[in-house]
Chain A
Amino acid sequence: MHDPTSPHSPPRRIGSWTLIATAVAVAAVSFGYVGGWLAPHRLTPEKLVNQLQDNAGTFAGYRRNHAKGVCVMGYFDSNGGAQPYSVAQVFEPGRTPVVGRFAIPGGNPYAPDSSVPIRSMALRFAQANGQQWRTGMNSMPVFPVATPQAFYAQLQAQQPDPATGKPDPAKVGAFFAAHPETAAFLAWVKTAKPSASFATENYWSLNAFVFVDANGRRQAVRWRMVPEAADAGGHAGKAGDADYLASDLAARLAQGPLRWHLQVTLANPGDPTNDATKTWPDDRRTIDAGTLVLEHTEPQDSGSCRDINYDPLVLPAGIAGSDDPLLPARSAAYADSYLRRTSEEAHLPGTAAAHMPPEKTR
């Protein structure tokens, strides 16, 4: 080390070196704390996504949740009904192109369609002004939990036991017992059957959002896509087809486009906007904002929905997130999942290698 020419006494220099070392240490430790490396108990997006992988396996290139799905293309015809509440261009009368994706929850892209009673619809509306509205909706009226911490606890409880390959019923039971907010969801699940078609389902935003009008007035909302198709799914694939949802969708689209109505429910003051386990009372005002028309489907491995992150907080001016704590957690976790799967597509070093489940090695 260079010996400074200034004749300082050793104590002064020890003091100076200590000061320098302290400054560096304080900066490094605060950085480590803020970045989570020194705060191991904080729930991070990485932990959530790791847990999704622990539960379902790691399938390189696929979404870490809702891994099995198909792309759909079409458009949204706005009737102007939501325009008084939101300045979003998508609600002006007229047409907005849409790239969407139907899926089933779970991280296994080869899971049979009958393995869960839930279906999902994700949409990306590309406004002419370059802004976008992305939304991911599920076919149930309530979410099991209200917070990311509870969602994480639920995933942990449902992690398959290595001995049986199935979740431990005692752990699952203990989770639901400790989380009474799951009651509404459990009641729904009791009556829910895996549907034979994506086309006949309702899809709920579950999370609340905020519409902002031209005067900056904010109105809390939730939305739902209500299907025109109402039959029980006569086009369902032949018995033994684990991928009947995709074949049903293709068969229906071959006959003509599929339609849904975008129903926007306006909250009354005091309705909970931060709790996706609670529905709003039935008498809340609902407006029909227009019609979603889906015309084509493409496989997800090559289709245009593959590389879209349906982050629910990618929103145009006129739509904003609410205080629902699930929203930022979704946004953060989807970004992490998106980075993993695109890194795998890019074959970056250190990324997961494809892992085939037993069912697919037939």
Chain B
Amino acid sequence: MKTDPNTFTLAARVLHWLMAVLIVAMLFIGVGMVASVSERHEWLLAIHKPLGIAILILAIVRLAVRLRHPPPPLPADLPAIQKLAALASHWLLYFLMLAMPLIGWAMLSAGGYPVMLGTSLRLPPIFPVSPVAFAVLRQLHGGFAMLLFLTFLAHMAAALYHGLIRRDGVLPSMLRGRKTVPALIGYTDPPAAEGTNEVDTERTD
């Protein structure tokens, strides 16, 4: 498949949606387990750690994909402030999806816990044992999680705004990119008429 400069690559799109589901699930698992004294605390934690490490690995792959294949440009008419917000929030998301699992791993190391991903799989520590470092990292894990959730909310709202209100090519570029906007989001009325839509320029399939 040839790369279309107006869409994300297939790898980028698959990684995006897979990780979107995993990261949002992780946020819910995380806040759910620390607010529970029931057996939920145990089985959620048992999912949390291996899933977090899986996200770390996926995030590294994704960063590599991102650096090799720049994303399609944002609509030319998008106000500069929105462009800046998009750019900043995307890099914040990349930062957090790498930082969260690394902090989780480092904080357990600093707390002197064996970092168990299952009943017998243990990761080596990545931080020296230190109660002060544990406390700082554990608070960061919680604080960054809240920041990640807020960033996710803003990101989701912005994506819907592009898709439903602006109807530019931004949302389709991550959905499938090659089709026209309306077909993708299930609209029956014709696409926006103005030439601001950069996605509709190429229809190969």
Interface residue total, chain A, C-beta cutoff 8 A:
60
| Residues of A close to B165: CB separation below 8 A | 4, 8, 13, 16-17, 20
Contact stretch, chosen from B1-9, B28-36, B63-71, B93-101: B28-36
- Which residue, B32, B77, B134, B167, has most C-beta atoms of chain A within 10 A? B134
The 5 closest A-B pairs by CB, nearest first: A36-B35, A35-B31, A317-B120, A6-B192, A16-B164
**One of B112, B129, B194 near A6 (C-beta < 8 A):** B194
Tell yes or no: B37 within 8 A of A by CB.
Answer: yes
Are B112 and A307 interface neighbours, CB within 8 A?
A: yes
> Does A174 sit within 8 A of B, measured CB to CB?
no
What per-residue 1/0 map shows which CB atoms of A26-42 lie under 8 Å from chain B?
A: 01101100111001001
Q: How far is the CA of A44 from the CA of B174 in the complex (A)?
A: 39
Say yes or no: A42 contacts B35, CB within 8 Å.
yes
Instruction: Check A20 against B166 for contact (C-beta < 8 Å).
Output: no
Chain A, 179-217, contact with B by CB distance < 8 Å: what is the 0/1 string? 000000000000000000000000000000000100000
Counting CB contacts under 8 A, is B149 at the interface?
Answer: yes
> Hey, what's the 0/1 contact readout for B173-205 against A, CB within 8 Å counting as 1?
000000000000000000011101000000000
Q: How far is the CA of A96 from the CA of B166 in the complex (A)?
A: 65
Which has the most chain B C-beta neighbours within 10 Å: A23, A24, A34, A36?
Answer: A34
A329 & B37 in contact (Cβ 8 Å cutoff): yes
Is residue B138 contacting chain A, with contact meaning CB distance below 8 A?
A: yes
B116/A131 in contact, CB under 8 A: yes
Q: Once bound together, how far apart are the Cα atoms of A332 and B135, in whole Å? A: 16
Task: List B contacts of A288 (CB < 8 A).
Answer: none
- How far, in whole Å, are A32 and B191 apart by their CA atoms in the complex? 37
Interface residues of B (CB under 8 A from A): 27-28, 31-42, 77-79, 82, 111-114, 116, 119-120, 122, 124, 129, 131-132, 134-136, 138-139, 149, 152-153, 156-157, 160-161, 164-167, 192-194, 196
**What are 25 contact pairs spanning A and B, CB under 8 A?**
A2-B78, A2-B82, A13-B165, A16-B160, A16-B165, A19-B164, A23-B160, A24-B157, A27-B156, A31-B31, A35-B32, A39-B35, A43-B37, A44-B35, A44-B36, A129-B122, A148-B37, A306-B131, A307-B129, A307-B134, A316-B120, A321-B42, A342-B131, A342-B135, A342-B138
Q: Are the CB atoms of B114 and A314 closer together than 8 Å?
A: yes
**Complex CA–CA separation, A34 to B134 (angstroms):** 25
Neighbour of B41 across the interface among A27, A28, A328, CB < 8 A: A328
Structural contact, B149 and A7, CB atoms closer than 8 A = no
Nearest to A133 among chain B residues (CB) is: B114
Say yes or no for A320: interface residue by CB 8 A criterion: yes
In the complex, the answer to whether B35 meets A339 with C-beta atoms within 8 Å is: no
A36 to B32, CA, bound (A): 7
Chain B residues whose CB sits within 8 angstroms of the CB of A327 once the complex forms: 42
- Is the CB–CB distance between B131 and A28 below 8 Å? no
Q: Does A331 touch B at the CB level, under 8 Å?
A: yes
* Given A317-B119, A338-B111; A30-B28 close (CB under 8 Å): yes
Would you list which residues of chain A between 327 and 344 have a CB under 8 Å from chain B?
A: 327-329, 331-333, 335-336, 338-339, 342-343
Q: A44-B35, A44-B36, A307-B131 are in contact. Are A131 and B120 (CB under 8 A)?
A: yes
Q: Mark A58-91, 1 if CB is under 8 A from B, else 0.
A: 0000000000000000000000000000000000
B144 to chain A, nearest CB (A): 15
Give the residue name and chain of the A residue nearest to B158 (CB). Answer: A20
Shortest distance from the beta carbon of B131 to any chain A beta carbon, whole Å: 4
Q: How far is the CA of A306 from the CA of B124 in the complex (A)?
A: 22
Instruction: Tell whether, in the assembled complex, residue B38 and residue A328 are in contact, meaning their CB atoms are under 8 Å apart.
Output: yes
Contact at A345–B132, with CB atoms within 8 Å?
Answer: yes
Contact between A6 and B138 (Cβ–Cβ < 8 Å)?
A: no
Question: Whole-angstrom distance between the alpha carbons of A346 and B34 in the complex?
Answer: 21
Q: Which residue of A lies closest to B37 (CB)?
A: A329
